[in-house]
Amino acid sequence: MKIIMLGAPGAGKGTQAKMIADAYNIPHISTGDIFRANIKNNTELGIKAKKYMDQGLLVPDELTCDLVVDRICQEDCADGYVLDGFPRTIPQAVCLDKALEGMSDKIDYAVNVKVPDENIVRRMSGRRACAKCGATYHIVHIPPKKEGICDRCSSELILRDDDKPETVLKRLSVYHAQTQPLIEYYDEKGVLVEVDGTQEMNDVFAEITGALK
């Protein structure tokens, strides 16, 4: 089963991707992990990607697609995979489809975890991270035992810049402009599954698995 996860930043698609991967015993593949692995192993594709990243530039769509295709061609993906964070744009989706067609393959499902923007801003602005050990919390859903203090190392918890409301709104703006068109793209292909991401985590998962045949 080949699955793509869609949804705005903070919608919870990463958590659901991991749960799906565990349930169906298939790899959870994120572009960040692919980049790190190729750079660490000094592969030809990793060297190319690092040149862009070192300059603070986005890795071009074609190279990103090559990295993803290289990963999904590995033996552990024979029974399927869950792609998390790719594709992010229509050109990336087209590139992936062409590569899969060349292998007589295709994406089975594109799962869109729907959450209103205001919910996402509220969710992410409630996140807290330990500046020392990196442990993460949420002031409502996963609060520390002592307010503002990390359970693990007793260091101060902070609101990361990425989670500040103004930053979240900017990220959502980029998502709506670049990534949201993918929902229509996969809907037209007849593989789109939409779920209500405002539910409890396990209820979202149950809705997803109920839709995957």
Q: Any idea which residues carry the catalytic annotation?
A: 13, 88, 127, 160, 171
**Cross-strand bridge partners of residue 15:** none
Give CA–CA dist 33/97, Å, rounded.
21
Q: Is the peptide bond before 87 cis (omega within 30 degrees of 0)?
A: yes
> Two tokens at 134?
């990196």
- Dist CA 90 CA 149 (whole Å): 43
Q: Which helix (H) or strand (E) holds 28?
A: strand 28-30
Residue 128, amino acid:
R
For residue 137, give the 3-state DSSP assignment: strand
Burial of 111 (0-12, 13-18, 19+ CB in 10 A): buried
Residues 6+ positions from 5 with CB-CB distance below 8 Å: 13, 14, 16, 17, 82, 83, 84, 85, 111, 113
Q: From the DSSP assignment, how many helices (H) and strands (E) are in the chain?
A: 9, 8
